[in-house]
Amino acid sequence: MRTEDLNLNFIFKNPNDTDVYEGVYFLLGYLLMYLLFLEVGMIGRMSKIPEWHAKWIATATLGAFESVFEKSTNMIDHVNSAFEEMMACVLCHERYRITAQDALEFFATEHIRCQACGTEQQLPLFWLMSRFASDESSKDEGRGSEEELTSV
């Protein structure tokens, strides 16, 4: 059967074979991540986006991408170290860490499963990052006011 120009004829291809798509999924991940960051940049030109919000988008996106496509656990390690004092089960009070197996679910839904008792609970990354950002911005605002006073 003749196909259109620049098209592939899959009439004799087994539909259960995934070899055609194996190289595409990795590139689609990069493309979708690029489009998301492009969208954030474009919206940032039209209105002010808080820096902590842009950081949250980058953290969640890069963390999800890393958990699917990468062998490294850099984002997981950063989140574990940044929020380790808050990462305790509400039921059994055991400390937990985000593992490579739980990373995608965590970055996509902000839920984590306690390894000790197995309960699923929410670890609100967005809220935690906004709280840390508001603490830092209040410190910055204080310095900015002093600089303005001394410069007058």
Contact yes or no for 119/113 (Cβ under 8 A)? yes
Report the alpha-carbon distance of residue 77 to residue 99 in Å, rounded: 9
Q: What tokens were used for 84?
A: 């380790």
Split at pLDDT 50, 70, 90, the class of 138 is: low
**CB neighbour list of residue 95: distance below 8 Å, 6 or more residues apart:** 84, 87, 88, 89
Q: Determine whether 110 is exposed, middle or buried from the number of CB atoms within 10 Å of its CB (0-12, 13-18, 19+).
A: middle
Comparing 126 with 92, which gets the higher pLDDT? Answer: 92
Please check the confidence at residue 149 and state whether its pLDDT lies above 50: no
Whole-model pTM?
Answer: 0.63
Report the alpha-carbon distance of residue 73 to residue 21 in Å, rounded: 25
> What pLDDT sits at residue 142?
43
Q: What is the chain's Cα-based Rg?
A: 22
Q: Determine whether 35 is exposed, middle or buried from the number of CB atoms within 10 Å of its CB (0-12, 13-18, 19+).
A: exposed
Q: Among residues 59, 84, 3, 69, which one has the least CA distance to residue 30?
A: 69
Locus of tokens 């960051």: 37
> What pLDDT sits at residue 1?
61
Give residue 120's region: left, alpha or beta (phi > 0; psi -120 to 50). Answer: beta
Q: Evaluate the CA torsion angle 96, 101, 105, 108 in order and state its sign.
A: positive
